Amino acid sequence: MASFLLLQSSPALLATWHGLSARVLTNGPSAFETTHGKDIWSYVETNPALSKLFNESMACDARRVVPEIINGCPGLLDGLDSLVDVGGGNGTTMRLLVKACDWIRDINFDLPHVVSDAPACVRVEHVGGDMFDSVPNADAAFLMWVLHDWGDDECIRILKNCREAISKDKRKVIIVEAVVEEKEDKLGHVRLMLDMVMMAFTNNGKQRTSKEWAHLLREAGFSRYTVTQIKSVKSVIEAYP
């Protein structure tokens, strides 16, 4: 939690909030880009301290959420020999999953400058690349807190690459994201707050409703999917071609 609070209170992110109202009124570029002259990903890439803090924050979230995924979705990884974590950061999620599921081999896939600092782990291979170009082959693909950073067109492109990368006999894409409902539970205000975070820091990112998720998956070529609510603001979406 400390790394998350330090990230959100960093000067670069705090300054962005001052530009949010202008973005809402003009429907222009993200408040982050207006404030810093480049999008958040380009900025993080050229600021190692902020990049480290960002990855530590994501790792902190993974340590909290992965046990909820395992407990809330028993059998999620049964029958899978390999898994690729798309946008996996420093590999914390994959390290937790291989520890809980000792039969699986994992690929932690992210931009080269991100995985270059990822610690080594048995049965976890770190691979650098661009998810908009292609995704490493595996039995299934896993994305946690990735698609909410992007607009619909970008998400469809990422999901299509994931669909092409997974094996034909066991194909599944696992998405861990918030699902905003019309009648929200007690965590609904948190999901809406996270939607404001996406509006401030990204160009087209957002938290999505179940109908919006259905649209993305359909356009990306998936024929069916299931949604499981876990003890988190996130849900687990399992999508099948």
Contact 194, 178 (CB under 8 A): yes
User: At 89, is the pLDDT very low, low, confident or very high (cuts 50, 70, 90)?
Assistant: very high
Domains of the chain: 62-240 (3.40.50.150)
From 18, 36, 113, 148, the catalytic residue: 148
Annotation marks residue 148 as catalytic: yes
* pLDDT given for residue 190 in this prediction: 79
* pLDDT given for residue 184 in this prediction: 63
Residue 188 has pLDDT above 70, yes or no: no
Nearest to 201, CA basis, from 131, 149, 147: 149
Distance CA 35, CA 30 (A): 9
- Bridge pairing between strands 124-128 and 208-209: unpaired
Q: Which residues contact 154 (CB under 8 A, 6 or more apart)?
A: 132, 204
Q: What is the mean pLDDT of residues 107-112?
A: 96
Distance CA 181, CA 166 (A): 29
Using DSSP, state whether 81 is helix, strand or coil: coil
